[in-house]
Amino acid sequence: MTHRTAAVNDRIATRAERAEQGESARRTTPFAALAEHDATGRDPVDLLDRQARSRIPELVPVRYGRMANSPFAFYRGAALVMADDLSRAPTTGLHTQLCGDAHLSNFGIFATPERRLAFDINDFDETYPGPFEWDVKRLVTSLAVAAGENGFSARQRLKVTLACAAEYRTTMRDQAERSTTAVWYSRIDPTAELPELRDELDTSTQERVRKALAKSRTHDSHHALAKLTTRVDGRPRIISDPPLLVPLEELFADVDAEQLYRELRQRLSDYRATLQDNRRALLDQFEFTQAARKVVGVGSVGTRAWIVLMLGVDGDPLFLQAKEAQPSVLARYLAGPSYPNQGERVVRGQRLMQAASDILLGWQHGPDIDGEQRDFYFRQLRDGKGSAVIETMGPKGLRLYGRLCGRVLAYAHARAGDRIAIASYLGTTDEFDHAMAEYAETYADQNARDHAELERAIQEGRITARTGM
């Protein structure tokens, strides 16, 4: 199935028609049905093992080691496992563009093209159209898992999950009443929102919020240059820290380095063609200097991820990140569009869901060093990026942070989907909130069991894990 673009003069459904669609969905799939969970007959370790077969073999143990660190770390890497579970649950049928992996750590601060800070979703590797509640369930469950790890009581966990679901519901209802263009431009400004929330927090948490905002402003290519390079013969060279950071010529020592760099320059040329003209003009003012493999995240470990160092006329740096894009974990479970390039899928999904996106987002397809055809997407490595340290949050801080995440998720879903139908389904009571909270508690317990299964598989030698990385 390929994506169809609606003609400009297609008839647009009325508010009443769209509201009826939401009410009809609620009659078919009541809130209680959304709280249901069934993991019968699936093996989480087997799902992860099959997913790992397309990844770099030497890095798969690093991924398992990171996932074994804690239930929350496992949850971060188990988007496929949860997608498999969600596929067997009742669904509303109200679709929008999904993040596909909307857990807490995939929200954060970054710089907009206007050089203002924004708080939004910042990971779209799994983006794909699907039922809106899949993202909500993944987000609210991540709060339950994090709250459990932080030692919250059952009552405190419930307050956290209910607040997030309620924020999503009320924001979506607000968006349903707004004009289409106003919905499109809705965003959170962390310099305004976070200080306001900071006033509600204890002194130590207030200080962490202040530092997070200040730190995010320094996260740019100059910061990456200082952290990731050293100077050799007066020029910056990417440091070697295997297996997490390895320069290209060291990684493929048995291949002619000049050949490697010719191929990478061709990749950059192909990527350049996907940018707007004015952004090509910006990229053209930088010279390709060096590349390296850099392991990132938890769920992404084992996919091919490169950093590319480019230098301007005065030696000013630009770091790009090229990440391999494989099919979304949601695609096997949902009847949706097909994409000629998975990198293009990521970029288009990101542009649709974010209020403002990296100006250097683009994609590329071609043979890798091993001769396999692979898809990649490109972005700036660091552009004012910052994220919260979930492990240090108390009940009030996590509840407020979860509300922010719920709000921006609703903003994204309202831009990409039928906000009126979704708002009509959600209704005005807190029944949806309680259904999400109930599901989150149930799935947090399931996630703990799945994490234990991973630990058991490591102990029994079924899979190999490399810890401390």
The CA distance from 221 to 159, in Å, is 39
E-assigned strand segments in 172-286? 229-232, 235-238, 245-247
* DSSP 3-state of 298: coil
The CA distance from 295 to 252, in Å, is 16
Which residues are CB-neighbours of 269 under 8 A, at least 6 positions away? Answer: none
Confidence of residue 311 (pLDDT cuts 50, 70, 90): very high
The CA distance from 15 to 180, in Å, is 12
Report phi then psi at 278, rounded to 5.
-65, -30
The CA distance from 307 to 359, in Å, is 17
pLDDT in tens, 403-461: 999 999 999 999 999 999 999 999 999 999 999 999 999 999 999 999 999 999 999 99
The CA distance from 275 to 270, in Å, is 10
* Residue position matching structure tokens 């991973």: 454
* Mean pLDDT in residue range 323-346: 94
What confidence score (pLDDT) does residue 1 get?
Answer: 39
| Residues 106, 72 contacting (CB under 8 angstroms) | no
Report phi then psi at 318, rounded to 5.
-135, 115
Three-state SS string over 20-88 comes to HHHHHHHHHCCHHHHCCCCCCCCCHHHHHHHHHCCCCHHHHHHHHHHHCCCHHHHHHHCHHHHHHHHCC
What confidence score (pLDDT) does residue 3 get?
Answer: 46
Query: Which of 67, 22, 14, 24 has its CA nearest to residue 44?
Result: 67
| Residues 396, 201 contacting (CB under 8 angstroms) | yes
Model confidence at 393: pLDDT above 90: no
Query: Which of 58, 232, 63, 73 has its CA nearest to residue 149?
Result: 73
* Mean pLDDT in residue range 337-358: 93
What confidence score (pLDDT) does residue 4 get?
Answer: 47
Chain-centroid distance, C-alpha 41: 28
pLDDT in tens, 33-87: 999 998 888 999 999 999 999 999 999 999 999 999 999 999 999 999 999 999 9
The CA distance from 31 to 433, in Å, is 9
| Residues 426, 173 contacting (CB under 8 angstroms) | yes
Alpha-helix residue ranges (DSSP H) falling in 367-418: 395-416
The CA distance from 440 to 145, in Å, is 8
Model confidence at 347: pLDDT above 80: yes
The CA distance from 324 to 250, in Å, is 20
Report phi then psi at 246, rounded to 5.
-140, 120
The burial of 251, by beta-carbon neighbours within 10 Å (0-12 exposed, 13-18 middle, 19 or more buried), is given as middle
What confidence score (pLDDT) does residue 299 get?
Answer: 77
Helix axes 132-149, 431-459, angle to 10 degrees: 60
pLDDT in tens, 242-287: 988 999 888 887 777 777 788 888 889 999 999 999 999 999 999 9
What confidence score (pLDDT) does residue 129 get?
Answer: 97
Distances (CA, A) of 454 to 22, 57, 222, 235, 255: 39, 18, 39, 44, 37
The CA distance from 36 to 146, in Å, is 21
pLDDT in tens, 217-252: 555 667 778 888 898 888 899 999 998 899 988 888
Q: Which two tokens stand for residue 246?
A: 């390895």
pLDDT in tens, 129-183: 999 999 999 999 999 999 999 999 999 999 999 999 999 999 999 999 999 999 9
Share of the chain above pLDDT 70, in %: 88
The CA distance from 34 to 332, in Å, is 21
* DSSP 3-state of 367: strand
* Mean pLDDT in residue range 352-356: 90
Model confidence at 384: pLDDT above 70: no
Is pTM beyond 0.85? Reply is yes
CB atoms within 10 A of CB 391: 10
Cα 142-447-394 angle, rounded to 5 deg: 40
Model confidence at 2: pLDDT above 60: no
The CA distance from 83 to 70, in Å, is 20
Return the bridge partners of 324, or none. 376
